[in-house]
Every structure is written in structure tokens, then in C-alpha cells.
Amino acid sequence: MVLGIAVALGALTVVLGVAVVVRQPGPVGMYTAVAGMLLIVIPMLMLAHAEKRKGLRIRRAAQFRCAGCDHPLDGLPAEPDGCAVCPECGAAWRVETDPDA
């Protein structure tokens, strides 16, 4: 939702900047258009980075590695709460147990 609002506000600012440049050429319209483009590009870059990090955490968890520091968690005993504690960074990760085993 925040991304949508930022993109809409950025698009509106770009349109406003272009309108100012067309009606009265000068730096004010250019600055307004550039600010609008930044309002569109920066949130999209932030979202892309967050999605990349999310995919990395999912991939690490599937390989039974710590999502925080990438340390292997193979062979670590589960604590009473069902989590394995990473010896490298101290993060706790839920250990999936096989009900058939």
C-alpha cells in the first residue's frame, strides 16, 4: 500500500513538473520532475531489495542454513521449544520435524 501511494505521488509530481516545464521553461519544473521520478524509483528499489532478501532467507532455510549468517545448521539439536540455535550468530530457527520418523 505504501509503495502504491509513493508511486501515485511520484507520478503526480512528474506530471506537475512536466506541466511546469511546458508552461514556463526553467529549473523549477525540471527539479519537480526529477523529484517525482525519485519518488517512484526509490520505493521500487527498496521493494526489489526486500524481495531479494526474502528469497535469500527462504533459500537458506530450505538448505537448513541460518538465514541470518548462512552458517550450516545440520546436526544441531533442537531446543525444548523446537528451535535450533545458530552457534555463529545466536539466531533461533524452528526445526521441522518429520512426523513419520
For residue 94, the surrounding DSSP H or E stretch is strand 92-94
CA pair distance 58, 51, nearest whole angstrom: 11
Nearest to 30 by CA among 43, 16, 9: 16
| Whether 1 and 32 share a structural domain | yes
- Mapped onto helix, strand or coil, the DSSP state of residue 83 is strand
The reported pTM is: 0.47
Domain membership of residue 83 as a residue range: 66-101
Could you give the CA distance from residue 88 to residue 51 in angstroms, rounded to a whole number? 25
How far apart CA 72 and CA 30 sit, in angstroms, is 51
**What pLDDT, on a 0 to 100 scale, did the predictor assign at position 67?**
78
Same domain, 41 and 72: no
9-56 pLDDT, tens per residue? 777 777 777 777 677 667 777 777 777 777 777 877 888 888 888 877
- Whether residues 97 and 80 fall in one domain: yes
> Could you tell me if 82 and 96 lie in one domain?
yes
